[in-house]
């Protein structure tokens, strides 16, 4: 039986988040114990643990069928891959930074300057789009020390919280690119592997949808039901159950995470009481 080969980063935050997503999809992965490849015990997939920079090449060459990488790596490597699903985790940005004491006004500061980065292709495109003439110094790691040792006037590096920049005497001045984890593939798979991928994508999207939603239960007087129903659109319409107390009902629905607090305020204003909000583990549409 065919198995879908998934390449993920072998260590680090992206690896942890990728494995967590796979587990949330109900796929059991045994402890690899340092192995570079392992098989699920209950789903037809193999996991290849690789360096993140190597994943695009392995997928392009069909050593792996699909891979989980950051958009920054995908763009930088310029491999012939397609994004089949954005995953919503490991969000970061690729930014330009200079020493804290620099009186930075705008992007023109970088004209005639040296900039150190591990992402020369992305930075070159960015400078060209903005008509900046700068020298790009490629560094494979520890980019943040480049200004301190006199190698460059600024850097372009991945930023999450900004604490690493701050601790190295730098300040972020321009965002070059926003990035998140994505699922990528080279081209259409054979029919058997495509079926496995479709099942995997169904599970991933169910997990993602659940994280974007909340299950809500509340009590409300019957005379206010129509008003409350308009506030609670839900997937179709809320479930309404009569309570033992005459003239009252219990409503059950699903609301979007990004509208959560606004909706709660509206519900309270419409007379809702005993509002209970519960996280959703999976959401099958």
CATH classification at residue 13: 3.40.190.10
Asked whether residue 285 is assigned to any structural domain, the reply reads: no
Number of domains in the chain: 3
254 assigned to some structural domain:
yes
Q: Yes or no: say if 173 and 98 are a contact pair by the CB < 8 Å rule.
A: yes
Taking the C-alpha atoms of residue 127 and residue 104, their distance in angstroms, rounded to an integer, is 17
Q: Work out whether strand 92-99 and strand 154-159 pair parallel, antiparallel, or are unpaired.
A: antiparallel
Structural domain range at position 169 = 92-178
pTM of the model: 0.83
47 forms bridges with which residues in the sheet?
6, 38
Residues 166 and 266 in one domain: no
Cα–Cα dist 70/204, whole Å: 17
Sign of CA dihedral 51, 54, 59, 63: negative
Same domain for 64 and 185: yes
Q: How far lies 197's CA from each of 192, 254, 270, in Å? A: 9, 28, 45
Residue positions counted in the chain: 285
Q: What are the structure tokens assigned to 103, written together?
A: 């009186």
User: Residue 84's pLDDT is what?
Assistant: 95
Give the strands of the sheet with 239-242, arranged side by side. 239-242, 248-256, 213-221, 273-279
Assess whether 109 and 37 both reside in one domain: no
The answer to whether residues 75 and 197 belong to one domain is yes
228: left (phi over 0), alpha (psi -120 to 50) or beta: alpha
Say yes or no: 22 and 54 in one domain. yes
- For each of the chain's 285 residues, which pLDDT tens digit applies? 789 999 999 988 899 999 999 999 999 998 755 678 999 999 999 999 999 889 999 999 999 999 999 999 999 999 999 999 999 999 999 999 999 999 999 999 999 999 999 999 999 999 999 999 999 999 988 899 999 889 999 999 999 877 889 889 999 999 999 999 999 999 888 999 999 999 999 999 999 988 888 889 999 999 999 899 888 865 567 889 999 999 999 999 888 887 888 888 889 999 999 999 888 888 877
Same domain, 206 and 72: yes
Q: Does residue 113 share a domain with residue 8?
A: no
What distance in Å separates the CA atoms of residue 223 and residue 221, rounded to the nearest whole number?
6
Beta bridge partners of 187: none
Give the pLDDT of residue 234: 57
The pLDDT value recorded for residue 162 is 78
Which two three-digit tokens encode residue 265? 């305020």
- The domain boundary residue, chosen from 124, 154, 178: 178
Whether residues 70 and 8 share a domain: the answer is: yes
230 and 241 assigned to the same domain: yes
Q: Rounded to whole angstroms, what are the CA distances from 241 to 175, 225, 238, 248, 275?
A: 51, 11, 10, 9, 15
Give CA–CA dist 242/251, Å, rounded.
Answer: 9
Q: Extract the tokens encoding 34.
A: 């340092």
């Amino acid at each position: 039986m065919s198995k879908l080969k998934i390449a993920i980063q072998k260590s680090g935050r992206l690896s942890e988040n990728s494995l967590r997503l796979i587990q949330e999809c109900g796929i059991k992965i045994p402890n690899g114990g340092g192995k570079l490849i392992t098989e699920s015990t209950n789903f037809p997939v193999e996991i290849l643990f690789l360096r993140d920079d190597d994943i695009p090449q392995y997928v392009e060459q069909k050593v792996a069928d699909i891979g989980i990488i950051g958009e920054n790596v995908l763009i930088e490597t310029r491999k012939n891959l397609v994004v089949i699903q954005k995953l919503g985790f490991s969000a970061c940005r690729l930014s330009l930074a200079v020493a804290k004491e620099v009186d930075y006004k705008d992007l023109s500061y970088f004209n005639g300057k040296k900039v150190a980065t591990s992402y020369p292709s992305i930075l070159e495109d960015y400078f060209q789009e903005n008509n900046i003439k700068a020298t790009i110094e490629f560094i494979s790691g520890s980019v943040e020390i480049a200004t301190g040792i006199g190698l460059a006037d600024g850097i372009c590096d991945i930023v999450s919280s900004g604490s690493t920049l701050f601790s190295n005497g730098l300040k972020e001045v321009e965002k070059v690119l926003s990035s998140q984890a994505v699922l990528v593939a080279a081209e259409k798979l054979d029919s058997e592997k495509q079926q496995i991928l479709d099942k995997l994508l169904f599970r991933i999207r169910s997990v993602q949808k659940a994280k974007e939603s909340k299950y809500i239960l509340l009590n409300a007087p019957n005379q206010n039901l129509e008003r409350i129903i308009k506030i609670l659109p839900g997937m179709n319409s809320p479930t309404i159950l009569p309570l033992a107390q005459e003239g009252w009902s219990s409503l059950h629905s699903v609301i979007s995470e990004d509208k959560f607090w606004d909706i709660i305020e509206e519900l309270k204003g419409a007379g809702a009481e005993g509002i209970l909000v519960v996280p959703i583990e999976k959401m099958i549409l």
